[in-house]
Every structure is written in C-alpha cells, then in structure tokens.
Amino acid sequence: MSPPAHHRDGRFQNNDGDFEAKSLAELIRWRWNAARRGLPPRPQAPIPTQAADLGFLHANAGPAQQPAVTWVGHATVLAQLGGLNLLTDPIFSERASPLSFAGPRREQPPGVALQDLPTIDAVLVSHNHYDHLDLPSCRALADQPGGGPLFLVPLGLQKWFHQRGLRRVVELDWWQSHTLAGVEIFLVPAQHWSARGLNDRMKTLWGGFAVFAPDCQLFFAGDTGYSRDFTRIRERFADRQADGGFDVALLPIGAYEPRWFMKEQHVNVEEALKIHADLAAKRSLGVHWGTFELTDEALDEPPRQLALQRAALGLAEDAFFMLPIGGTRRLPRRR
C-alpha cells in the first residue's frame, strides 16, 4: 500500500500545495522592513483580561459538567466537555523560544496559572513550534497531582516526548482518532509546517483536532493557512453533524502580517471567517492573538478587524466571539 500523499520520504507536506520555506534573505528583508517602519505598532488599548472563575472551572466536572471554553492566552484553551478537561497547545512560559533570555516575550500572563488549572485529562498539541509546544509547560502538566494527562500529538512527536521523559503520549496521522472516556478525538489536516531547529523542517506532522463528545463537538485549528482542508473536514464529519457543524471552533485570528510572508502558514481575520463558514461552525472563538508579538500587526488589531468584518458579513457577535484572557464561555449542551 502506498503511503498517504502528505507523507514525503520521511517528511510531510500540505494537501494543497507544497510549503516552500522563506529564505534567510526574505526573513532578513521582512525584519528589516518592519524595523524601518516601526512595526509592530503598540496596541491602542490594553489587551482585555479578567480573573478566571476558578470556582466554576474546578467544580465543572462529572456528569453535570457544562461544556465551556476558557481562553488561557495565545492558542492555549481549557475546553471542558464530555466530562473531561482538555488543554490545547499549552504555553505558560515567559518566552516562546528555545532560549530563556531571547525570543518573543509574553505581553500578559496566562489567564489561568498552571497551578490553578483543574486536573487536565488530555493535552492536544497541534505542532512543534515553540509558541505551541512548550517543554516546561508540558513537564509541569505531567507532574500534576494524581498523574499527568495524555498528550495527543501528530506523527513524529511521540519520540520527542519520550526522549524528554514524557511517556503518556499517543501520536496520530491525519484522520486517525483516539477515544478517551467516550470522547473521540481526531487529528485533522491543516496547512502549516514544522521545525524546532535548523535540520528538522517538516520531519514531524502538524494538524488540528476535531473532538466529539456527547454533549459538545469542538474543533481546534492549531496554526494554519487557508485551504480546502476545512471544507473536507466538514464533509468528512457530515454524518456526525446532521444538526449543524461544530458547537465551537477555536480559530486563529492573529500573527498574519506581512501577507507575502505569512499567507501560506497563518490566516488573517478574513480567512478565519471563511474557515468558520467552511466548517459550518455554530460559533467560533478567536485565539492566537494578544499574547506574543510575532508579526507586524498590532497585538490588538485582530479583534478590531474581526468586529468590522463580522459586521460587514451580517454575522452576530456570538457567531464568532472574543474572550478576555482568563474569560470563560459556557456553551449549551448538545441535545
């Protein structure tokens, strides 16, 4: 049997066109132009934050659990559904970097501190970039009282975890799933890439997650450019969603400028709204903004753009909403 099309001689590729890494010269050109123009600009207003409702987060368990999502910051979301506590792409460190003294620094602290989290049952890791896979955070989670969570990761990352003493790991290819306490979790395609160093580009897979619990269906995009993958995902799971699409989709809306550099790997707000439509999601939460200065737009530009473009499309605010860091949105249970 021939390997899947996205498997390429020990590496991986996207479904809709091969990812071509920018050259060092292009990277230097981007950073030089940004510095010359004073980009990114400082935010016009503070990034919204609020104290997390820790009482609710810790009590929200068992058969009476209400589906809910809490934005911890960047792409880290605590999702409570199916009687489980799931955490996406956890990063609680001060920097998104292999170095403790250099690289993008947090602009605001996590909305829920590591020690304040409820017991995490599973961690969904979309790919191995430093702002999505943070080793100190993973080690702290593995040491949580009562035992560490299950880490669900794309192909190739199980070895990385094992080499660092983290053993409770399941790796998945696109469209493969793992069931935990009656909740089925699929790794699904995304348009992105992987690397943690100079010599490992595209050697591990990347993706998003589709989570199917009796009380809630959740989608997490990870990092992605816009592609036909999201229409494929809707079509693939249509038999599970006769009453509509995902109950909530966690979609990135930040880190998108300049487009000539970022378009293939990070959606902008307009494209995130297209993903929301492609998935036929009942509602979406905008993430991946407001925490780390990674690109040329201001930290607070994505929510301003979302408000403008959502209104232009005639979408209700609740259809594609924002949360303050630390904020929780309680969701209706599926019937």
Query: What CATH number does residue 157 fall under?
Result: 3.60.15.10
Is the per-residue pLDDT at 70 higher than 90? yes
pLDDT, tens digit, 9 for 90 and up, residues 3-29: 899 999 999 999 998 998 888 899 999
Which residue's structure tokens are 């400082």? 42
CA atoms within 13 A on the CB side of 319: 19
Residue 181's contacts (CB-CB under 8 Å, 6 or more residues apart) are 82, 83, 84, 121
Helix axes 269-279, 229-236, angle to 10 degrees: 20
Identify the sign of the CA torsion 180, 186, 190, 192.
positive
| Domain contains 323 | yes
Q: 153 pairs with which residues across the strands?
A: 171
Tell me the residue type at 6: H
pLDDT surpasses 80 at 184: yes
- Domain extent, residue 266, equals 55-330
The whole-number pLDDT of residue 326 equals 98
Q: Give me the amino acid identity at 46.
A: P
In angstroms, the CA 104 to CA 37 distance is 19
pLDDT at 59 over 90: yes
The pLDDT, as a whole number, for residue 93 is 97
Compute the distance between CA of residue 209 and CA of residue 205 in angstroms, rounded to an integer: 13
**Three-class DSSP category at 313:** helix
Name the H helices within 65-156: 135-142
In a domain, 255, yes or no: yes
Give CA 246 to chain center in angstroms: 16
Q: Which pLDDT value is given to residue 198?
A: 85
Measured distance CA(332)–CA(326) in Å, rounded: 20
SS (H, E, C) 27-73: HHHHHHHHHHCCCCCCCCCCCCECCCCHHHHHHCCHHHCCCEEEEEE
- Strand, helix or coil for residue 271: helix
pLDDT tens sequence across 73-112: 999 999 999 999 999 999 999 999 988 888 899 999 999 9
Give per-residue pLDDT as tens, 218-231.
Answer: 999 999 999 999 99
Quick one: pLDDT at residue 223? 98
**Residue 23 falls inside a structural domain:** no
Sheet of 248-252: strand order equals 177-180, 183-188, 208-213, 216-220, 248-252, 284-287, 320-321
Say how many domains are in the chain: 1
Q: Is residue 263 part of a domain?
A: yes
Residue 33 lies in a domain: no
pLDDT band at 1 (very low <50, low <70, confident <90, very high): confident
**Of all residues in the chain, what percent carry a pLDDT higher than 70?**
100
Q: Does residue 335 surpass a pLDDT of 80?
A: no
H-helix or E-strand containing 248? strand 248-252
Please, is 66 exposed, middle or buried when counting C-beta atoms within 10 Å of its C-beta (0-12, 13-18, 19+)? middle
Provide the edge-to-edge strand list for the sheet that holds 122-124: 169-172, 150-154, 122-124, 84-88, 76-81, 68-73, 328-330
Distance (Å, whole) CA 107 – CA 124: 24
Mean pLDDT over the full length of the chain:
96
The pLDDT tens digits for 101-118 are: 888 999 999 999 999 999
pLDDT band at 122 (very low <50, low <70, confident <90, very high): very high
What six digits make up the tokens of 223?
Answer: 């990092």
* Dihedral sign (CA 275, 276, 281, 287): positive
Contacts of 318 (CB under 8 A, 6+ apart): 283
Count the Cβ atoms, other than its own, within 10 Å of residue 195.
16
Q: Is residue 69 one of the residues assigned to a domain?
A: yes
Cβ 123 vs Cβ 76: under 8 Å: no
Q: For the chain, what is the radius of gyration of the CA atoms?
A: 19
